[in-house]
Structures are given as C-alpha cells and as structure tokens.
Amino acid sequence: MRSNCKRFLTAVLNELTAWQEHTRLKSIRLIMLLVVLCEEHLTIDTYTIIPLLLKAYYTTIQETPLTMHQAPISTSHHTPSFLHHTPSSIHHTPSELVYGFLTVFELMGRFIHPDTYVYYLVCRLTNEGDGVANPYTDHTYTLCVAHMLVMMVYGSKGGGGGGLAPHLDVLVKALTDLRVLPLDSGVLG
C-alpha cells in the first residue's frame, strides 16, 4: 500500500468533494490513516495535497450549518488556550467531517516540516508572493487557509516544533494582520 500511495492519494482527496456525505466521511477517515501510515509521501506531494484539501475543506465549510467564526480549531484535548473558541451562540455542533479535516491538518503538521508549508500557506493567506491569488472571492477561503495553517503549526509543536522558530515572525505577522483576519474571524479566538 505504501509504495502505491501516490497512485490513489489524489483520487481519495478528490472524493472529499463528492456530493454524498457518507463518501466524504469515508474519504476523510481514510486520509487520516494515510497521513499516518504513508507520511513519507506527504512531503513529496505537499504542493498537490494542500490545494486539494483546502478546496474540499472550503466546500465542507460552505455546506456546514456553522459560520466560520464558530468552527472549531482544535481537535485534541490538550490544546493551548489561544486555539479555543467557544462562543455562547453556537447552536450546532460541527460535523464529523470538519473535525476530520482539522485532525488531518494537525497530523500533517506533525510529519511535514514547517519549511515546506509555512511560506506556501502564508502566501495564500495574505495573497502575496509568487503570484498566488485566492481562487475564491469570499473571506471564507482565507479563513480555511488560516485554520489549516494554525492546525499544522499546532501539529508541528507535537512533533518537536524545533522547525517553527525561523518562521515565528512570518506567522505572527500573517495571523495578526487585520486585513487578512479581522478580529471577529475567530481563528485565534
């Protein structure tokens, strides 16, 4: 399976945008397993995997009965307080699919070195650098990128976190820029 991962990974990622929710749930569960079992393919295919995951996460968030500022950005029990955001106005619980995406992002952060993903995601967050443009016109996509970035950074911490130090200035600047993430976005709650 590990040697053939590249052959089917893109197909499984594309299933995350299937119209049937049970297909998407099976796909996100399979991707969780693949991230752990086939982690060596993550770094090789990072620039293929991230856009597909972002597209699928964006689609899921658009269909979820939550607003983005109500979406959870923590999946584990031992999260730092700045990742908690639980406004009293939440009436819906996030879908298993949203939690699945956040878990995948956190796991990816454990296995992909920050040198590989920080600049790539910050460019998409700020729409600056290397001719990167936001493929969607609404602010929801920017928040999806921010969720992915925050969860991958959090996952990096669990994997040792030593590689984050050179990127702290860039991360703080991008995540605190009010043009990118307004105060009411809820990303850093």
pLDDT in tens, the chain (189 residues): 556 777 788 889 999 988 888 899 999 999 999 999 888 878 888 988 999 999 999 999 888 755 444 545 544 544 433 334 433 333 334 588 999 999 999 999 999 999 999 999 998 888 777 656 666 667 888 889 999 999 999 998 765 556 888 999 999 998 888 877 776 665 555
Domain tally, the chain: 1
Residue found by looking up tokens 């050179």 in the block: 166
CA pair distance 144, 48, nearest whole angstrom: 17
Q: How far is CA 72 from CA 32, 35, 62, 97, in A?
A: 18, 21, 15, 12
Boundaries of domain holding 77: 2-185
